[in-house]
Amino acid sequence: MIQEQLQQVLRRSSNESEKLYITGNLFAKGCTFSGPVNFGGGAAQAQPVSYSDEQVAQALANIVGRGKAIDAKKKWAGAIWLLQWVCSYPSNTKQACERIRSLPLPADLEYECDYRNVRELTTLSFFREDARRLDTVKYSKNDEEAFKDMTKVVVALDAELKKTSTASLAH
């Protein structure tokens, strides 16, 4: 069904009213799309926001540590979830952790993003849904605690990222 919709949209690419927004992985005749895919236009929220590595690092540094949103190694999964949607970080968890570790983060950061600590959480079904639209995310009763933990991280990181973009506009 998705392939039929995609073919229709591609055939009528000049028709602005025909839109198809797909989340997750899509495989189409030799092409692989991983993450948000938007064909034929779409809402502004589907587009990634541009944050520099420094802004992302600053936002992350502000939420990592005891008494903060990322107060355990596994909670990095929430940061990965949001960064995949907001900053087009890799959907591959190992690559996303490597990308985060490549940021100019403080050397004394209490918890480090490590694939071994987050891989189980990043396989939960809701992880494929848009972290920017928490009100529409569906999760199972078994995943409720993990969803709540990740939601706290998503909300905190989103707020910090917005602060960094506001601060950079002030300069």
Q: Would you call 117 exposed, middle or buried from its count of C-beta atoms within 10 A (0-12, 13-18, 19+)?
A: middle
Q: Would you call 16 exposed, middle or buried from its count of C-beta atoms within 10 A (0-12, 13-18, 19+)?
A: exposed
Report residue 111 as tokens: 């918890």
Residue 165 is predicted with a pLDDT of: 81
Q: Is the per-residue pLDDT at 145 higher than 50? A: yes
42 in the same domain as 121: no
Question: Are 16 and 41 a contacting pair, CB within 8 Å?
Answer: yes
C-alpha pair distances (Å), 161 with each of 8, 84, 100, 124: 37, 14, 14, 25
98 in the same domain as 42: no
28 in the same domain as 86: no
Whole-angstrom distance, CA of residue 147 vs CA of residue 78: 9
Range of the domain at 155: 53-170
33 in the same domain as 82: no
76 in the same domain as 21: no
102 in the same domain as 37: no
38 in the same domain as 71: no
Domain count for the chain, please give it. 2
Residue 50 is predicted with a pLDDT of: 77
122 in the same domain as 40: no
Choose one of 31, 46, 61: the last residue of a domain.
Answer: 46
Question: Are 41 and 19 a contacting pair, CB within 8 Å?
Answer: yes
Report residue 12 as tokens: 């009528």
> Could you give the residue ranges of the DSSP H alpha helices within the chain?
2-11, 53-63, 76-86, 93-101, 115-118, 144-170
Residue 79 is predicted with a pLDDT of: 98
pTM of the entire predicted model: 0.70
Which range, 30-34, 98-102, 161-165, is most confident?
98-102
160 in the same domain as 88: yes
pLDDT by residue (tens digit) across 35-82?
555 554 444 444 455 799 999 999 999 999 999 999 999 999 999 999
Q: Is 141 helix (H, G, I), strand (E, B) or coil?
A: helix
109 in the same domain as 38: no
Residue 46 is predicted with a pLDDT of: 46
Choice between 98 and 14, residue whose per-residue pLDDT is larger:
98
Residue 77 is predicted with a pLDDT of: 97
166 confidence band (pLDDT: 50, 70, 90): confident
62 in the same domain as 41: no
Residue 29 is predicted with a pLDDT of: 52
154 in the same domain as 100: yes
pLDDT by residue (tens digit) across 81-139?
999 999 999 999 999 999 999 999 999 999 999 999 999 999 999 999 999 999 999 99
